[in-house]
Amino acid sequence: MIAEPGRPRTEVHARDRRQDTEFATVADDYLLGRAQPEEQRLQRQINDLGPDSAAQFDLIGISPGEQVVDLGCGPGGVLHLLAERVGPAGSVLGIDRSPHFVEQARRFVAGRGLSQVEVREGDAYDTRLPRSAFDGAHMRLVLVNVPEPERIVREMVSLVRPGGWVASFEADYLPHTCDPPLPAWHRLLEAYKAYSMAHGIDLFVGRRTHRMFREAGVKDICVVPVIHVYPPGHDRRPILRDFIGNLSGRLVKEGFLTQRKIDEDMAALESHLSDPKVLVTSHLFYRLWGRMPL
């Protein structure tokens, strides 16, 4: 177990024994679901987005020995990249709401022998971790999938000590498109947007993360965006298909699309994506970091 910053590593806290239900401070209206295909997508994401996150961490300048936290770590996320930077003398605490992802993440770090990483089940809206106690806090691709992102940002910022760093990697759906255009792509994406909006989820949150972190008290904010194109065979080329697959039951149940329409459009999308002449442009990712005032 990793010690909470400022406490000895061997101490066991009452909080560690709390039941999952105590963490449910906001309804878990998480957009992507946590079924097996999403778990597999997140496993691939560890490598797919690793270089972009590693470059961000190098720019932040994370030091050996730091105690850092990653909110919404999923089945692995960036835990290994943070662990490399803080080294064996530091610590990384990964938090996720899904017990299954927590289990997966524990396996991921154990498989790499990263004893400085601990993964705990918890709610990013209310982590119940000590305030102003971490040297740094990071979160990747959580805000674009949840309602009330400002609350999570405030919680995350409150965990970092004066002079510590705060970092975010967040998506914005603005450029995510294919060319030549495809009516089925457009229909599926519009339904996805409508569902998200109806559930208070902002698919364009990336562009305003700078504002949310500034309003939460973060200073010296730097923003470095990144965008990709996904060639045939790239893991993320079919990401719209994957997201619709995660959500299809809920889209039908809540009347956004019929199952028949989803099936037809997904087949058209699949065929379009298999055409090497089709260019798929990624989301726009906003990589942001800053410091807590001294």
Ligand X SMILES: C[S@@+](CC[C@H](N)C(=O)[O-])C[C@H]1O[C@@H](n2cnc3c(N)ncnc32)[C@H](O)[C@@H]1O
Residues in the interface with ligand X (CB under 6 A) total 22
Per-residue mark of binding to ligand X, 122-161 (x: CB under 6 A) = -xxx--------------xxx--xx---------------
Pick 24 or 279: Cβ nearer ligand X: 24
What is the spatial distance between Cα 292 and Cα 211, in angstroms, rounded to a whole number? 15
Q: Which of 18, 234, 50 is nearest to 129 (CA)?
A: 18
Binding mask 44-63 for ligand X (x = CB under 6 A): -x------------------
What are the CA-CA distances from residue 19 to residues 24, 120, 122 (Å)? Answer: 10, 12, 10
Output the smallest distance, CB 79 to ligand X, in A.
Answer: 9
Residue 87 CB, shortest distance to ligand X, in Å, is 21
Identify residues 185-244 at the interface with ligand X (CB under 6 A): none
Which of 2, 42, 109, 160 is in the footprint of ligand X by CB under 6 A? 42
Got the DSSP string for 138-206?
A: EEES-GGGSB-HHHHHHHHHHTEEEEEEEEEEEEE-TT-EEES--HHHHHHHHHHHHHHHHTTB-TTGG
Task: Work out which of 3, 30, 207, 221 binds ligand X, going by CB under 6 A.
Answer: 30
9: exposed, middle or buried (Cβ count in 10 Å: 0-12, 13-18, 19+): exposed
Give the number of C-alpha atoms closer than 13 A to the C-alpha of residue 191, restricted to the C-beta side.
27
In a 3-state reduction of DSSP, which class is residue 90? coil
Spell out, one character per residue from 71 to 110, where the chain touches ligand X: x when CB under 6 A holds, - when not: -xxx--x-----------------xxxx--x---------
**Cβ at position 228, least distance to ligand X in Å:** 15
The residue among 127 and 248 lying less far from ligand X, judged by its C-beta, is 127
Residue pair 168/292 in contact by the 8 Å Cβ criterion: no
Nearer to ligand X, 109 or 124 (CB): 124
Instruction: Measure CA of the first residue to CA of the last residue in the chain; give whole Å.
Output: 29
- Angle of the 79-86 helix axis to the 99-111 helix axis, nearest 10: 50
Residue 68 CB neighbour total at 10 angstroms: 28
- Contact between 176 and ligand X by CB under 6 A: the answer reads no
Cβ 30 to ligand X, closest distance in Å? Answer: 4
Please, what is the minimum distance in Å from the beta carbon of residue 179 to ligand X? 26
Residue 25 CB-half CA count within 13 A: 13
Least separation in angstroms between CB 233 and ligand X:
21
Q: State the residues that interact with ligand X by CB under 6 A.
A: 30, 32, 34, 42, 45, 72-74, 77, 95-98, 101, 123-125, 140-142, 145-146
